[in-house]
Amino acid sequence: MASIIRIKRSGTSGDPTTLAAGELAYSYLADNGSNGGDRLYIGTGTEIAGNAVNHEIIGGKFFTQMLDHTKGTLTPNSAIIVDADSKIDRLLVDDLVLDGSTISNTGEITFDTNGNNINIGNVRLYGVATPIVDSDGVNKAYVDTQIATNTFSISADSGSNDTFNTSTGVLNFQGLTGITTTVTDDNISIDLDDTAVTAGSYGSTTQIPTFTVDQQGRLTAASVVNVATTLTVNNDPISILDSDLTFAATGNGFAVDYHTGTNTITYSIDDATTSSKGVAQFHDSDFAVASGVVSLDGAVMKGATTASGDATPSNHILTFSGNAIQGLDASAAGSTVTFTPRTATYSQLGTAKFNSADFVVNSGDVSIDSDFIRSITTDTGAMTIDGHAISILGGEGINVTHAGTSIEIAGEEATANNLGVASFNDQDFDVTNGAVTLKAGSVANADLVNDDVTIGDTAVALGATHTDLTGLTGATIDTIRIDGNKISTNSSTPNLLLDPKGGDSAGGKVVIYGDLQVEGTTTTLNSTEVTINDKVLVLADSAADATAANGAGISIDGANATMTYSVAGDKWSFNKDIDTPEIYRNGVVLREYIEDHLGNNFFAAGEGMDITYGSDQDSDNTILFSAELASYTNKGVASFDSDQFTLTSGFVTVATLDGGTY
């Protein structure tokens, strides 16, 4: 049975609102230019809520109608289709019409080549009108007319100017003496005529060339003559061909210079300077020159004399120096040297005057005025004044101050941090002849520096009672010793007893907060009832492995009944029968364990099949086999829509796949 596939379609809408990726839809709504009708759509891209992000137009009547005309014929509102020769009958571009071999326009046609040339393929361009402006093209008739009437003037070094017509005249290039002109293929060649001179080089190191020149400047003859090759200087022959004659200066300002243009040798001597030798003249105010002997003029100083002896100038220099440390400066202005003493200061030696109020000066002898203090005496004797300065300082508890010329010495008041003068309260102290004593009962325990005793880390006030002591590192009471976290007896007392509810050895209860660890070799419980809250009772806790734990278990005296661990086979061993209503494996009744193993492990589900055991099935001991529902990724059972499928005896066919309308 053939199947019918129908895509989405609409006669009322253009682009569908929803279109899945890969789904087709066609709008046969008549196109009005904006409604999207007469178009075929396909969904592409990611789907969001069943709608592809892109609805692409891939065809439709809107486009095929543009192709329903004769090939090669330009048709309104249709696409351009070329004919078998890749041609169309004509082409319209705005006002420009290309029809056959004619390009026409209702107005002027402008070629804009962006500055590039137009190549017409080396063919004639005809029908060009007579130009009007300089930028117009020209035709042959116009050019011929211009050439026929074109003239220009020619002139030469001699003769009169002449006018030449380019259409009718012949311009002649005539060669005169020694010049020949030739015209060949529109080329004019101007050539110099040969002379009788043989081409070549003339002259050498021993020969000078000679030439004959005519009126036109041409060489008409060329030859050579020999020259001398030896120069004699001071009877010494020098070969001009292979020797050099050198003119040298001896230095010390003496120089020689050769000028190539005039072949002149010039000797010269430099002027003398302070740093180089040379020629010089001597000033008559400083020097005397007789027969070439130079001496200093008598007015020039050669030496100097002082009270302590003569000063000899060195290198014609005599230096006048002051002593700045001693306060004497030397200065010069022109020909005058001046020595100036400095004014004395605290740091500078120099000249000074003395104040008559402080000093006495007699014939240059200076002494301090009698009003000045020269010495001071204290209780310990005379005081030596050093550097004209006296310091009056206070000791502990004494202040020394001054105002103007008055010095005040006063005692400081005593404080907790400072010695000083103080008064004493007569309620607490007795003062007799400067001796201070405490009165009886004037100082309480709280007034003492140490008013308590510390036991451990607990302070106990003097005279007080304290029942809670902390911080003790150890204590011994009778035969019991408490030391750190250990309670022990002395070596002569073997037993340590804990007796709650004293006097009744079987009464009371000992409560231990925390774990209990017994390090002894034997632990005996005489209780008639033992209760352990822990769910797990650990035996052989020191066993390193299963072999070491072999034989561990429970033994019941009197009945000789045991339940022990056997390392062989890694199992429990019972020496008595086990009577139980059910047998369990891993917490599951053995019967139930077998059912679970079959349902969960033994039976395996294939493609499209599920096996369920547990929950409801486990309660009624049922293993449920069920087919899986078919999905896009899983094979299984499924039902079929009767509108889309036909089902006969299990055979499924597709009658129609209909995308529906929108």
How many other C-beta atoms are found inside a 10 Å radius of the C-beta of residue 13?
16
Same domain (yes/no): 9, 89 = yes
Residues 145 and 78 both lie in one domain: no
**Number of domains present in the structure of the chain:** 4
Which residue, 182, 147, 146, 181, is CA-closest to 167?
Answer: 147
Per residue in 48-83, pLDDT (tens digit) is 998 999 999 999 999 999 998 899 899 988 999 999
The token pair at 210 is 């000679």
Q: Which of 174, 208, 238 is the last residue of a domain?
A: 174
**What does the pLDDT read at residue 466?**
80
72 & 134 share domain: no
Asked if residue 569 has pLDDT above 80, the reply is yes
Domain final position from 272, 291, 326: 272
Same domain, 88 and 138: no
Cα distance between residue 653 and residue 118, in whole Å: 72
d(CA 142, CA 126): 13
Are residue 19 and residue 86 in the same domain, yes or no? yes
Classify the phi-psi angles of 434: left when phi > 0, otherwise alpha if psi is within -120 to 50, otherwise beta: left
Does any domain span residue 9? yes
Any domain includes 482: no
Q: From CA 265, how far away is CA 247, in angstroms rounded?
A: 8
Structure tokens, 314: 């060195």
pLDDT at residue 504, rounded to an integer:
66
Q: Is the pTM of this model over 0.85?
A: no
Residue 143 lies in a domain: yes
Task: Find where tokens 């008595």 sit.
Answer: 576
Distance CA 445, CA 462 (A): 7
Q: Are residues 239 and 165 in the same domain?
A: no
Q: Is 115 domain-assigned?
A: no
Cβ-based neighbour number of residue 55 at 10 Å: 21
- Secondary structure letter of residue 343 according to DSSP: B
Report the range of poorest mean pLDDT among 10-19, 160-169, 626-635: 160-169
- Tokens (6 digits) for 74: 């330009």
Contact 106, 95 (CB under 8 A): yes
Most confident of 183-197, 490-504, 552-566: 552-566
Would you say residue 303 has pLDDT above 80?
A: no
Strand 480-483 relative to strand 474-477: parallel, antiparallel, unpaired?
antiparallel
In 3D space, the residue among 517, 500, 520, 518 whose CA is nearest the CA of residue 509 turns out to be 500
Q: Does one domain contain both 67 and 136? A: no
pLDDT at 215 over 60: yes
159 & 246 share domain: no
- CA angle (296 as vertex; 290, 302 as ends), nearest 5: 155
Task: Give me the pLDDT at residue 599, please.
Answer: 66
**Alpha carbon distance, N-terminus to C-terminus of the chain:** 28
For residues 61 and 140, state if they share a domain: no
Instruction: State residue 16's pLDDT score.
Output: 95
pLDDT at 344 over 80: yes
Structure tokens at 442: 């004037």
Asked whether residue 193 is domain-assigned, the answer is no
pLDDT grade for 307, boundaries at 50, 70 and 90: low
Give the domain extent around 159: 124-174
CA distances to 41, 43, 509 from 10, in Å: 11, 16, 96
Together in a domain, 72 and 24: yes
| pLDDT higher than threshold 70 for residue 388 | no
Residues 51, 10 share a domain: yes
Q: Is residue 618 part of a domain?
A: yes
The answer to whether residue 333 sits within a structural domain is no
Average of per-residue pLDDT across 310-338: 80
CA distance 147 to 167: 7
616 pLDDT above the threshold of 60: no
pLDDT at 634 > cutoff 70: yes
Rounded to whole angstroms, the Cα distance separating 84 from 96 reads: 25
Q: Which of 221, 241, 272 is the last residue of a domain?
A: 272
In a domain, 377, yes or no: no
Q: Are strands 24-27 and 254-259 parallel, antiparallel or unpaired?
A: unpaired
